[in-house]
Amino acid sequence: MSFDSDIVLNITPAEESMQQEGLTRKQKKKEKWFNKKKQALNKNGFLGKHKYGHSRPDLTSHQHGAPANSSATPDTHFPHRVSVSHCSSTPSASLHQTPSAADTVKEKTNVSTDTKPPPPGPSVGPTSCPPAASRPALPSKCVALDCEMVGAGPKGSINQLARCSIVSYEGDVVYDKYIIPALPVTDYRTRWSGIRRRDLVKATPYDEARKEILKLLMGKVVIGHAIQNDLKILGYTHPAALTRDTSTMMILNKKAGFTERCVSLKRLTKAIFNRNIQTGRKGHCSVEDAKASMELYKVVEEELERSLESKFKV
């Protein structure tokens, strides 16, 4: 069985009027919501008129809650949105303050009236630092060292430290102590060392004294006569660039009128200063010897440091 008749819906004028009234209410509701959102955006400063009649964000204002150092840029697809970039190096204004026209021009042209050019000076960058010996030795960095030794073992054949003296560039005594040797003393060598048994009764133990001495020598220009013997008894190797041995300074020997390579401290002091040291039966004094070494070094200091500068130059 088939039906060929058409179905016809008859809508009365009253029903059609009700449908149109419903659409009108819906449109008014949407328009009211849109106007409300538009007023809120305009109040916060995100809307501005341009030639197409659309709203767009103000490039010189910031979103509430955006970081102070961020820069706001418009989103071309969504005019009401602002994309925030966090890579701006220019400090921004307060988040809740709308910039004036003058501030906007200043921000766009990136002009800072408070910025001053850096003062002239050497450029900062990697530089080569020459070794210590290539620079003139500072007086505050110079000390003179002298040690007195006694003998231990069979016939006193083993050298042992019994006294150490250190003086400053000006000749002031920085350190001077009697030291208890690590091994029992079998020969005090008083004629040369000036050490007697009574001097070591309340002396400083060797290990303790060694720590004190090395602490004073670290980073300093150390001067002495035949200084390698003094450093050896301390069990210490000082950097060659910071060591000055008056017994091997040829320019000092020439000034004194000697042709030998190694000249004793006593002879050098007599020849240059016309002063006698290491006299009498009391033996040597390490303070006196250290002062004499410093004075001899100062005689040839300028010439010696210039020659060492070319020797150790990088």
* Tens of pLDDT, residues 94-141: 334 444 444 444 444 444 444 444 444 433 333 333 343 334 567 789
Rounded-to-integer distance, Cα 201 and Cα 206, Å: 13
Which of 180, 145, 142 has the alpha carbon at shortest distance from 161? 180
Q: How far is CA 278 from the centre of its chain?
A: 47
Rounded-to-integer distance, Cα 83 and Cα 88, Å: 13
Torsion of the alpha carbons at 291, 263, 236 and 215, rounded to the nearest 10: 10
pLDDT digits (tens, 9 = 90+) for 158-195: 999 999 999 999 999 999 999 999 999 999 999 999 99
CA distances to 54, 66, 213 from 62, rounded to whole Å, are 19, 7, 66
The percent of residues above 70 in pLDDT, for the chain, comes to 62
Instruction: Report pLDDT for 313.
Output: 63
Rounded-to-integer distance, Cα 249 and Cα 307, Å: 11
* Residue, of 232 and 6, whose pLDDT is higher: 232
Phi, psi of 300 (to 5 degrees): -115, 15
Instruction: Report pLDDT for 198.
Output: 96
Rounded-to-integer distance, Cα 214 and Cα 200, Å: 21
Rounded-to-integer distance, Cα 22 and Cα 283, Å: 126
* Residue, of 60 and 284, whose pLDDT is higher: 284
* Residue, of 125 and 254, whose pLDDT is higher: 254
- Structural domain spans, the chain: 30-105, 135-311
> Helix or strand or coil: residue 160?
strand
Instruction: Report pLDDT for 50.
Output: 46
Average pLDDT of the chain is 75
The one-character DSSP state at 133 is G
Phi, psi of 201 (to 5 degrees): -65, -50
Looking at the predicted structure, is the pLDDT value of residue 227 above 50?
Answer: yes
> Helix or strand or coil: residue 89?
coil
CA distances to 127, 227, 242 from 132, rounded to whole Å, are 15, 19, 7
pLDDT digits (tens, 9 = 90+) for 188-223: 999 999 999 999 999 999 999 999 999 999 999 999
Q: How confident is the model at residue 309 (pLDDT cuts 50, 70, 90)?
A: confident
Q: How far is CA 69 from the centre of its chain?
A: 30
Which of 79, 214, 52, 93 has the alpha carbon at shortest distance from 147? 214
Instruction: Report pLDDT for 284.
Output: 87
Instruction: Report pLDDT for 137.
Output: 61
pLDDT digits (tens, 9 = 90+) for 38-90: 887 777 766 655 444 444 444 444 444 444 444 444 444 444 444 433 444 33
What angle (nearest 5°) sits at the alpha carbon of residue 192, between those of residues 207 and 166? Answer: 45
The mean-pLDDT minimum among 125-129, 168-172, 267-271, 310-314 falls in 125-129
Rounded-to-integer distance, Cα 212 and Cα 14, Å: 114
Residues whose CB falls within 8 Å of the CB of residue 36, separated by 6 or more in sequence, listed in order: none
pTM, whole model, 2 decimals?
Answer: 0.57
Residue found by looking up tokens 């450029």 in the block: 123
Query: Are β-strands 221-224 and 82-85 bridged in parallel, bridged antiparallel, or unpaired?
Result: unpaired
Query: Are β-strands 243-245 and 185-187 bridged in parallel, bridged antiparallel, or unpaired?
Result: unpaired
Q: How far is CA 12 from the centre of its chain?
A: 94
Rounded-to-integer distance, Cα 32 and Cα 10, Å: 34
135-311: which CATH topology?
Answer: Nucleotidyltransferase; domain 5 (3.30.420)
Cross-strand bridge partners of residue 82: 74
